Amino acid sequence: MHPNTKAIRTQVNKTDEMEHSVPIFLTSSFCFDTSEEMRAAFADETDDNIYSRFSNPNVQEFTDKIVALEGAEAGYATASGMSAVFGSFMALLKSGDHLLSCRALFGSTHNIVTKYLSKYGIEYSYVDASANIDEWKKNIKPNTRMIYVESPTNPGLEILDIKALADLAHKHNVILNVDNCFATPFGQLPISLGADLVVHSATKWLDGQGRVLGGVIVGKKELIKEIYLFCRNTGPALSPFNAWILSKSLETLDVRMERHASNATWIVEQLKDHKKISSVKYPFLSSHPQFEIAKKQMLNGGGLFCFELKGGLEAGKKFLDSLKMLSMTANLGDTRSIASHPASTTHAKLTEEERQAVAITPGLIRISVGLEHREDILKDITQALDNI
Ligand SMILES: *Cc1c(COP(=O)(O)O)cnc(C)c1O
């Protein structure tokens, strides 16, 4: 079956009611007919549901779909993207281990890496997302256990060569863990490029309508088993209700991503020579510094692009205040287009130097392109640019 068919047809078995749409299994636990069946379930001899912190039909359906879409062996869904990231670290890293990560990271991931891992004796080093593979190689230590990257990165949209990183990781017996939130499995397949694990914030494009939080980790069976046991005991389980929403969302992910990407591609073309803008960055724009890598590993350019305002910080704030339709909100990956100005908001606490190191310039604007008509999105952006 094609991926879009799998995303639509993977389904919990019908109940006796013969429903067409999957019901929501809002139950904390599951019953057994006999003590023997219950014993066998607890002994892992069957995969019967026991308790929704361990497994639940809706959560399993969502997980099965992502496993199929990402081409993974197994998966576990979590309450948020951050619990997926944290679970993938804590289940597989131990005191004395070293994590090698790209410097440009989602804010809370950066906080876990720099503020919390050290509490458990786990070291880290950062490599710039734009560095070549030799730089990564130089930073591998005897105790390096995992390489962690986002590609495209947030918000600078830098592209890392996943295949090259996978080859490097495997040469050194290191796990490659990729946050595939920005691209989605319809934009990029890290496992096919050699990644061992893929994490997602399902809150973004996977839901795609800004309704629920969710996360998921997929990858090699033996790694997922460790993550499952860690999560089963520590409790970041995804709610069945959210899983139901997310599973339904996946049925339209392919068509949504196609439109998000085609809208973004068209808008970027119209804006790239605008007089108030010094540069536009989009993975599939030939001026992107890692355009060749993007073309090689991505199936489309995705729904996010950014541009640099000539007027810097003040122009950034003025731009946001001048928007009439685009939303000013701390999210991305929605049917509604969203604009953000990292230097005055999400990354305002960083020093100028720290911002530069992760490609955040004072006038950087990030646009998450929605599903509104592309002309309306462009019209709002250009009228706000005119107003600066
Ligand atoms: C949002 C996001 C996360 C965190 O996900 P939540 O669902 O908000 O916990 C992790 N990585 C990336 C790239 C994100 O954009």
Read off the pLDDT of each residue in 344-363 and give the average, rounded to a whole number. Answer: 87
Rounded (10°) CA dihedral 251, 257, 260, 263: -120
Give, using CA atoms, the residue closest to atom 8 of ligand 1.
81
Amino acid 354: pLDDT? 86
> Average pLDDT of the chain?
96
Residues with CB under 6 A from ligand 1: 80-82, 85, 106, 109, 150, 154, 179, 181-182, 201, 203-204, 213, 215
* C-alpha–C-alpha distance, residues 77 and 68, integer Å: 14
Exposure b/e, 224-238, CB count within 10 A at least 16 = b: beebbebbbeeebbb
pLDDT, one tens digit per residue, over 17-73 is 999 999 999 999 999 999 999 999 999 999 999 999 999 999 999 999 999 999 999
Amino acid 388: pLDDT? 92
pLDDT, one tens digit per residue, over 359-381 is 889 999 999 999 999 999 999 99
pLDDT, one tens digit per residue, over 298-333 is 999 999 999 999 999 999 999 999 999 999 998 999
Number of Cβ within a 10 Å radius of residue 317? 17
Amino acid 355: pLDDT? 87
Q: What domains appear along the chain, each with residue ranges and CATH number?
A: 3-250 (3.40.640.10), 253-386 (3.90.1150.10)
Give, using CA atoms, the residue closest to atom 4 of ligand 1.
81
C-alpha 31 – ligand 1 centre gap (Å):
35
* C-alpha–C-alpha distance, residues 220 and 196, integer Å: 6
- Residue 348: pLDDT band (50, 70, 90) is confident
